[in-house]
A and B are shown apart, each in its own frame.
Chain A
Amino acid sequence: MISIIDYGSGNLKSIKNGFSKIGVDSLVTDNAGMIKDAEALVLPGVGAFGAAMGNLHKYQDLIFEHIELGKPFLGVCLGLQLLFSHSQESSKIQGLNIFPGEVVRLPPDNKIPHMGWNQLKIIKNCPILEGIGSEYVYFVHSYYVVPENNDVVAAVAEYGIDVPAVLCRDNVYATQFHPEKSGKSGLDILKNFVKLVE
C-alpha cells in the first residue's frame, strides 16, 4: 500500500486520484501505523515551509525510518522542499535535512510564483523519469532548492535559472512540479514510482 501523508496541507485527493487512474490503491492518512507500514510514502504539500514543518514534526521519525529501510519515498512540491535543511521562507525552522542544502526565493526577474507548464531538461538517469523526455509539467512555487550536492538533481526546468525539478538519491525521489496535475506525463512519473514498490 502507498500512503500519502495527511498533515493538514494541500490538495491530497488529486495525488490519490492520480494513483487510482493508473490502477493503484493508495491511502491518504494521518495514522502513524499506516505511515509506518506503508510500502511507499508520498509527502505532498502546498503552503508555507514553517507551518508545514510544524504539522509534519510528529511524523518526522516515521519518515526517517521509512527511508532508512530503503522503501520508496516521493516528495511533491513543498514536500520536496521540506527534505532540505532550511528555507529562506521560514529561516528559524529546521527542515528534514534529508538533502543538505537550502530553499531560496526565486530571482525577481520573472513572475513569481513560477506557475504553469514548463519543460523538463533531463540531467541524469532516474528511475521515476524512465521514458520521460523534454515533457511539459505543471509547476507552482515561489522558492526553489539549492542542494549542497548537485548530483541529486536529475532534471531541471529553465525559468531565468535552472530550477531543480526532479531529485533522486537512492530510494528518495522528489519533484518540484505536481505530477498529479501534469497530464499524461505526470501520470507516467507516478507509474514509474509505483514500479519501485516491490
Chain B
Amino acid sequence: MLAKRIIPCLDCDLQVPHGRVVKGVEFKQIRYAGEPVDLATKYYQEGADEIVFLDITASHERRETMADVIRATTENVFVPICVGGGIRKPLDYVNMLKAGADKCSTNTAAIHNPDLINEASKIVGSQACVIGIDAKRRYIEEESEASDKIIVETKKGLAWFDCSIYGGREFTGIDAVAWAMECEDRGAGEILLTSMDRDGTKDGYDLELTRTISESVDIPVIASGGVGNPQHILEAFTLGKADAALAASIFHFNEFPVPQVKAFLKENGVVVRAK
C-alpha cells in the first residue's frame, strides 16, 4: 500500500550566494532558516519523503542559482525533488531535470498558457509536471451569485475557490476545482494545493478545499498552507483525503521534526515510510 508522503518545503531567496530559506507571513517578519542544501540534507536524513524547493522571487535570472542548489542537493539527497518558481517553458523543465530534479511545479505560467502543461508533459512526462494551485475561498449567499463556479457547502457557508497567481498577489477568478480537473486532462501528474486563507496561519489545512479537489481528480494532491502541528497533517489525510502533506515552518524551526510527525501519524493508523 502506498505510504502518505511528508514533504518539507523550502522557500528560497536566491539573491545571496547558495541561497537562503526564508519563512514569513506575506514577506513580513521574515525569518531565515538556513541554506537550502543544508536543510534539504537534514530533512532527507530525518526521513522526509520528498523535498520541494520554491524560488520565492520566481525570477528568470536566478534559475541558474536554483539549478546549482539542486545539483549540490542531489549529491547527498536520494528522495524525489520538486522545483517551483520561474518555470515558464518546456526547456525550463528539461534544464531542472538535468540538474537532478524529478518534478517541476508551475502556477502562474500554466494559468497564462495552459498549453504549457500539454507540451511539458509530452516532453518530460506527466510525473514531472506538478501544478501549483493557490486557492482562496469566495463566500456567497446564494448559488446564483456564482452560477459558473463549482460551489462547495463549507461549515461557514457556500463558497467557491478562486485561483491566485504571482504568489497570491493577484486573483484570476478562475475556479480552482475546475482548473485542477483541466490540468489533469492536459497531462499534469500532481496538484500542489495551497490554501491562501490558511497559508501562514498555523490553523490547519483547508480540509474542505483539499477534499473537494482530491475527490475531483485522479492524480495525487499535496495539501499545503496552514499546518501548525501533527494533528493538522493527520487531518489532511483522514478528512482532506490528501496523498501528501507539505509543511515548512514546523520543520524549519524544529517545532515538530519529521520523525516526530511520522511517529504521530503511525500511531494514528496512517501508513508512512519509516526512515
Whether the pair A140, B49 counts as a contact (CB closer than 8 A) is no
Docked complex Cα distance between A184 and B1 (Å): 20
The yes or no answer to B243 lying at the interface (CB within 8 A) is yes
Q: Which residues of B contact A159 (CB under 8 A)?
A: 1-2
The yes or no answer to A119 lying at the interface (CB within 8 A) is yes
Known: A13-B74, A138-B80, A158-B1. A115 touches B189 (CB 8 A): yes
- Which residues 99-127 of A have a CB within 8 angstroms of B? 108, 110-119
Whether the pair A115, B127 counts as a contact (CB closer than 8 A) is yes
Whether the pair B220, A117 counts as a contact (CB closer than 8 A) is no
Whether the pair A183, B100 counts as a contact (CB closer than 8 A) is no
Q: Which residue of A lies closest to B75 (CB)?
A: A17
Whether the pair A136, B218 counts as a contact (CB closer than 8 A) is no
- Min Cβ gap B159→A in Å is 26
Q: Which residues of A contact B79 (CB under 8 A)?
A: 138, 181-183
Whether the pair A111, B189 counts as a contact (CB closer than 8 A) is no
The yes or no answer to B3 lying at the interface (CB within 8 A) is yes
Whether the pair A118, B74 counts as a contact (CB closer than 8 A) is no
Interface Cβ pair total, 8 Å cutoff: 94
Docked complex Cα distance between A78 and B102 (Å): 15
The yes or no answer to A54 lying at the interface (CB within 8 A) is no
Q: Which residues of A contact B24 (CB under 8 A)?
A: none
The yes or no answer to A1 lying at the interface (CB within 8 A) is no
Q: Which of A13, A48, A113 contacts B100 (CB 8 A)?
A: A13
- Which residues 152-180 of A have a CB within 8 angstroms of B? 158-159, 180
Known: A113-B189, A183-B275. A46 touches B3 (CB 8 A): no
Whether the pair A118, B1 counts as a contact (CB closer than 8 A) is yes
The yes or no answer to A70 lying at the interface (CB within 8 A) is no
For A, the interface residue count at a CB cutoff of 8 angstroms equals 35
Q: Which of B3, B80, B128, B243 contacts A118 (CB 8 A)?
A: B3
The yes or no answer to A18 lying at the interface (CB within 8 A) is yes
Q: Which residues of A contact B125 (CB under 8 A)?
A: 46-48
The yes or no answer to B5 lying at the interface (CB within 8 A) is yes
The yes or no answer to A72 lying at the interface (CB within 8 A) is no
Docked complex Cα distance between A113 and B2 (Å): 12
- Min Cβ gap A46→B in Å is 6
Q: Which residues of A contact B21 (CB under 8 A)?
A: none
Q: Which residue of B lies closest to A141 (CB)?
A: B127
Known: A11-B100, A13-B100, A46-B127. A117 touches B78 (CB 8 A): no
Docked complex Cα distance between A136 and B220 (Å): 18
Q: Which residues of B contact A18 (CB under 8 A)?
A: 78
The yes or no answer to B44 lying at the interface (CB within 8 A) is yes
The yes or no answer to A186 lying at the interface (CB within 8 A) is yes
Q: Which of B126, B244, B275 contacts A113 (CB 8 A)?
A: B126
Q: Which residues of B contact A14 (CB under 8 A)?
A: 74, 78, 100, 102
Q: Which residues of A contact B244 (CB under 8 A)?
A: 116
- Min Cβ gap A153→B in Å is 19
The yes or no answer to B219 lying at the interface (CB within 8 A) is yes
The contact sample of 30 A-B pairs, CB cut-off 8 A, is: A10-B97, A11-B100, A13-B99, A14-B78, A14-B100, A17-B75, A48-B125, A108-B218, A111-B219, A111-B220, A112-B219, A113-B219, A115-B127, A115-B189, A116-B2, A117-B49, A119-B3, A136-B273, A136-B274, A138-B80, A140-B102, A142-B126, A158-B1, A180-B78, A181-B78, A181-B79, A181-B80, A183-B47, A186-B78, A187-B78
The 8 closest A-B pairs by CB, nearest first: A136-B273, A117-B3, A117-B273, A140-B127, A116-B2, A13-B100, A181-B80, A47-B125
CB within 8 Å of B: which residues of A? 10-11, 13-14, 17-18, 20-21, 46-48, 108, 110-119, 136, 138, 140, 142, 158-159, 180-184, 186-187
For the complex with contacts A110-B2, A114-B2, A182-B78, 10 further pairs of A-B residues with Cβ separation under 8 Å are A17-B100, A46-B128, A47-B124, A117-B2, A138-B80, A140-B80, A140-B102, A159-B2, A183-B273, A187-B78
